[in-house]
Each structure stands twice: as structure tokens, then as C-alpha cells.
Structure 1
Amino acid sequence: MNVTWQGVFPALTTKFTQDDTLDLATFNLNLQAQLAAGVDGIILGGSLGEASTLTNAEREMLVKYAVEQVDGKVPVILNIAEGSTREAVHLAQAASEFGASGLMLLPPMRYKADDRETVAFFKDIAHSTHLPIMIYNNPVDYKIDVTADMFEELLKLDNIQAVKESTRDISNVTRLRNRFGNRLSILCGVDTLAMEELVMGADGWVAGLVCAFPRETVAIYRLVKAGRLEEAREIYRWFMPLLELDLHSKLVQYIKLAEALCGIGTEQVRLPRLPLVGEERQRIRTLIEHGISIRPELPDYLSL
């Protein structure tokens, strides 16, 4: 399936049972809510998907199951976050066999590669597969900045097509657009900056709180692209306290709690993460429940 790098791409959480196996039934419950809301693709095995705790066998199961359930409606993207080029290449080649439509690539994990090494890492993976690729640029969390000069080299490869823009610098959208035009698709990767980056010309949104609030997320995207900024702004203002949950080191636990309270997920996480308890859980639960209680009425955004 072809990938058009625009629209809302949820970075889906990975669902687990109490026995610490993949909970495909709950995963599908959430997936169907995303599809009904009008998302444009899904991303599996990202940071929010507890990537570092998944085995390759579990990645294979998730991708194959998701491909079967989406039934051609949207592309299925697999995240790759490996420490070695060899393992990243192996997973990229396997992703095609699993049925994935594209890849999201992080720079080398657990080693702060320099610019030359980072470019070589991405190019080696891209050369190994025909799948289209989105580079995940998040220097705040992963300490490697994929600069415009590096993209100049990377974009010589046709299957490197997009960036998940997580530098926290809104003006980077304009810099990238000025330099590369439409050759590089730009998707905002920070929930709390999404509307701002969309207004400045980003093509899409790799979203986190969409896992619990898919309709509101897609509504903001489509309203912005339709030029109905005041309507989008009102929803975005309501959403902001919830979107800020995506900035915390416990974003997985926070967003899974939101999914559970919205009836499309559970709080089950995989060790070393632990479920929320005590005052912290009550505080986050109160914030989420307040947001749900004043959830805005949405326009018919699917017709835009």
C-alpha cells in the first residue's frame, strides 16, 4: 500500500494482558476507534508503543494483525529503534515481509552517533528496503539532531520521504519547507505544538493522545487544513491539558490510563514500567476525567 505522508498518524500503544502477552482484542478495539475517527495511518512499536520491551516476534504479530484488521484502509508503519545497523536492516527487511507499508526510523540507540555516522545509519537502512521512510528527529529525547544539511544528503534516496519533526522548534517547519519544498513531508511529533506546526504548513501529525481521543485529534487536523482555525483553536484549547501528558517520562502510563477511562484500552504496561498508584494516579485520573466531562461537541469534520 502506498504511503501519503499527511494527516493524523497515531503512535499506538501496545496492549498487554495481565499475563504479559499481547492483548490483540483490546488493541483492535482501539484500532477500530482510530479508523472510525478518520486517521490516515498508524504507527506501531514507537516509544509510546513500549518499543524497547517488544521482541521481534511480537512486532511481527502486531504488524500482521494490524494489516489484517485495517484491510487496506490506511498504511501500517513500523518504527525501528535499534542499537546496531545490522539489527535495524534486519528489521527493515522483515517489516516488508510482515506487510508493513512504511517505516519510521530513529537514529542509533544507546550511542550518540555524529552526523556522518547518523547519515550512514539511515542510508544503510534505506538501501536495504523499498519501503518509504519517515525519519524521527527528536534531539531533545534522543540527543541526535538530524540537521537540514543531513537531510540534503538523505533525500538523495527516493524512499526517504518524511520527517517526524520533534525538535520543539516551530520555525523548523518553515526552514525545512524553504529548503526542500514538498520533497520532504513534515509531520509534527509533539502534541502540544501540533496546531501551531499545522498552521505553519506541516503535512501531518504523529500523535500520542489520539490513542484516547481520536475524534478530537482528527477534527483539529481537518479543521486547520480547511482554514476553519477558530473552530480548531477552541478544540485545541480544551485539549491542551491532556496533550501535556505526552511530555512526561510516564507518557505511556498516562496515555494508557486515558485510554482506559475512555473505554478503548487498559492500564496494563510491561516491566520495568509499573502502573500508576496513589496520589499520582488520582491526580492524572482527575485531570483526564475533567477533560472527558467537558469534552467539546465536534462539527462534521469527516465531511471536510
Structure 2
Amino acid sequence: MAIQWQGVMPAVTTKFTADDRLDMVMFEKNVKAQLEAGVNGIILGGTLGEASTLTQEEKETLIRETLEIVEGKVPVIINIAEQSTRDAIAVTRRAEALGADGLMVLPPMRYRSTDRETVVYFREVAGNTGLPVMIYNNPTDYKIEVTLDMFAELLELDNIQAVKESTRDITNVTRIRNRFGDRLKILGGVDTLAFENLVAGADGWVAGLVCAFPAETVAIYKLIKAGRIREALDIYRWFMPLLELDITPQLVQNIKLAEVATGIGTENVRAPRLPLEGAERERVLDIIDTALKNRPELPEYKNLALV
């Protein structure tokens, strides 16, 4: 399936049972809620998906079953976050063989690679697959920035098509657009900057809180792209305390608590993560409860004419 690299693409959480197995029943319920809300793709095995704790067998199960759930309605994208170029290529080839539609590729995270090493790494991974690739650019968390000059080299490969833009610099959206036009699609990757990214011209949003609030997330995107900025802003202001739950080290626990509150998830995480407790748990629950009590009524957004 061709990927347009636009709209809302949830970085979905991985659901676990109480005895630490994949919970595909709840996973399917959540993915179907995303589809019903109108998302444009499903991203598996990212940070929210607790990728570093998943076995290769579990990752393959997630790919196969997600493809069955979505039934070709939206592309299924797998995160590549391996520690060596060789392993990244191997996982990429296996994902392609299983039928994944695209890749989101992170730089090597345990080694702070040089600019040259980073470019070579991305080129090696992309050059060993026919799948379209989105580069994840997050220097805040991963300490490696993919600069515009580096992208100029990477875009020599036709299948490098998009960037998950998480530099936290809103002006980077304009710099990318000025330099590359539509050749490099831009998807904002920081929930608390999503509105600003989209208004600045980003093509889409790789979202986190969408896992619990899919309709509100898609509504914001659609309203902005339809030019109904004021309506989008009202929803976004309501959403902000929830969106801030995505920018802490405990984002997985936070978002899974929100999924419980909206009935499309469980609190189960995989060790070394543990469920929140004490004052921090009560703080997060209070944010979620306040949001639910003030949940906005959404306009009809699914069929808006986008500009």
C-alpha cells in the first residue's frame, strides 16, 4: 500500500495481559477505535509500544495481526530501532516479508554517531528495502540531529520520504519546506507542539495521546487542514494537560492510564516499567478525570474538505 505520509498516525501502545503476554484482544479493540476515528496509519513498536522489551517473535505477531485488523484500510508502519546496522537491516527485511507497508527508522541510540555515520546508517537501512521510510529526528531524546544538509544526502534515495519532526523547533517545519518543498513530508512528533506544527505546514501528526483519545486528535488535524483554526484551537487547549502526559519518561504508564479511562486499554506495562503509584498516580488520574468531565463536543469532522 502506498503511504501518503499525512494525517494522524498513532504510535500505538502494545497491550499486555496481567501475566505479561501480548493482549491481542484489547489491542484489536484499540486499533479499531483508531480506525473508526479516521486515522491515516498505524505505527507499531515505537517508544509507546515498549519496543525495547519486545521479542522479535512478538514484533512479528504485532505486524501480522495488525495487518489483519486494518484490512488494507490504512498502512501499517513498523519502527526500526536496533543497535547495529546489520540488525536493523535484518529486521527491516523481515518486516517487508511479513507485509508491513513502511518503516519509521531511528538512529542508533546507544552510540552517539557522527553525522557521516548517521547518514550511512540510514542509507544502508533504506537501501536494503523497497519500503518507504520515515526518518525519526529527535535530538532531544536521542542526542543525534539529522540536519537539513544530512537530509539532502538522504533524499538521494527515493524511498526516504518523510520525517517525524521532533526537534522541538517549530521553525524547522518552514526550513524543511523551504529547502525540500514537498519532497520530504513532515509529520510532527511532539504532542504538545502538534497544533503549531500543523499550522506551520506539517503534513501530519505522529501522535501519542491519540491512543486514548483518537476522535479528538483526528478532529484537531482535520479542522486545521480545513482552515477552521479557532475550532481546532479550542479542542487543543482542552487537550493540552493530557498531551503533556506524553513528554515525560513515564509516558507509557500515563497514556495507558488514559486508555483505561476511555475503555480501550489496560494499565499493564512490561518491566522494568511499573504502573504508577502514590501521589504521581493520583496526579495523572486527576488530569484524566478533569479532561473527561470537560470533554468537548466535537463537530462533524470526518468529511471536511481539506485545503
Identify the TM-score tier after normalising by the shorter chain. Answer: over 0.9
Shift of 1:98: 1.5
Match of 1:281 in 2: 281
Aligned residues: 304
Unaligned regions of 5+ residues in structure 1, if any?
Answer: none
Amino acid at match of 2:93: Q
Separation (CA, whole Å) in 1 of partners of 2:84 and 2:93: 14
Residue identity opposite 1:244 in structure 2: E
Match of 1:84 in 2: 84
Per-residue CA deviation, residues 61-113 of structure 1 (Å, 9 max, x unaligned), is 00100000000000000000011000000000001111110000000120000
Give distance in 2, aligned partners of 1:287 and 1:127.
45
Deviation string, structure 1 residues 234-258 (Cα, Å, up to 9, x no partner): 0000000100000010000000000
CA distance in 2, matches of 1:187, 1:6: 7
Residue deviations 1:244-287, cap 9 Å, x none?
A: 00001000000000000110000000000001111111110011
Q: CA deviation at 1:187?
A: 0.1
| Partner AA of 1:28 in structure 2 | E
The one-letter code matched in structure 2 to 1:216 is E
The aligned counterpart of 1:212 is: 212
Aligned twin of 1:66: 66
Q: Any idea what SS the aligned residue of 2:302 has?
A: helix
Q: Which runs of 4+ in 1 moved over 6 A?
A: none
Counterparts of 1:187 and 1:19, CA distance in 2: 36
Q: Distance in 2 between matches of 1:266 and 1:115?
A: 40
Shift of 1:209: 0.3
2:215 alignment partner, SS class: helix
Counterpart Cα distance in 2 of 1:47 and 1:298: 29
CA distance in 2 between partners of 1:5 and 1:154 (Å): 17
Cα distance in structure 2, aligned partners of 1:181 and 1:27: 37
Report the Cα offset of residue 123 of structure 1: 0.4
The TM-score with structure 2 as length reference comes to 0.99
Instruction: Give the unaligned 5+ runs of structure 2.
Output: none
- 1:143 aligned partner: 143
Alignment-mate amino acid for residue 70 of structure 1: V
Aligned partner of 1:297: which letter? E
Residue 14 of structure 1 corresponds to which residue in structure 2? 14
* 1:1-304 to 2 correspondences below 5 Å: 1-304=1-304
What letter is aligned with 1:82?
E
Q: Secondary structure at the match of 1:298?
A: coil
Q: TM-score, normalization: structure 1?
A: 1.00
- What is the CA-CA distance between 1:6 and the residue it aligns to? 0.3
Corresponding letter in the other structure for 1:165: E
- SS at the partner of 2:296? coil
- SS of the counterpart of 1:303? coil
CA distance in 2, matches of 1:98, 1:62: 10
CA RMSD in angstroms comes to 0.5
CA apart distance, 1:165: 0.1
Q: Quote how far apart the aligned CAs of 1:19 are.
A: 1.1
Q: C-alpha distance in 2, partners of 1:172/1:277?
A: 38
